[in-house]
Amino acid sequence: MIGTPDNDNNFDGPMIFIIIGKGYESDTSEGVDLHVMLKAADDDSAVREALNALAEEGFIEADLDQIGMLTEVPSEEPHASAYQGALDGEVSIIRFS
C-alpha cells in the first residue's frame, strides 16, 4: 500500500510562475518583450492572471511563448525584486527594451 502518492504536483514551496512573451500596446506597435512573475495555484490560473494584469497596464494583445515554475529564488535584478513581489501576491511585469 502506498502512503504518499509520488507525482510532479507535489511542491513544497510557493508556486511562483514566470511567463515569457511579448505585449502590444497598439495595433501598430512592434511589441515589448516581457517576463511576468506571479504566484498562482496552477498554470491556467497564472496565464489568466497575467493576461488580466497586462490588460490593466494598457496592453491590448499579448503573445505568451513560455511558462514555467521557478524552483530557486533569482539573485539578479530585476527578477529578484519581481520574485519578492510575486511572493507578496503581486503580478510583476518586467519590460525589456
In a domain, 2, yes or no: no
In a domain, 28, yes or no: yes
The domain tally of the chain equals: 1
| pLDDT(7) > 60 | no
| pLDDT(8) > 50 | yes
Helix (H) or strand (E) holding 21: strand 16-24
Residue 11's pLDDT band, with cuts at 50, 70 and 90, is low
pLDDT the model gives residue 91: 97
pLDDT the model gives residue 97: 78
In a domain, 22, yes or no: yes
In a domain, 10, yes or no: no
- Residue 20 lies in domain: 16-96
In a domain, 7, yes or no: no
In a domain, 59, yes or no: yes
Helix (H) or strand (E) holding 39: strand 32-39
Across the chain, mean pLDDT equals 90
Residue with cell 508556486: 15
Residue with cell 527578477: 79
Residue 50 φ/ψ, nearest 5 degrees: -65, -45
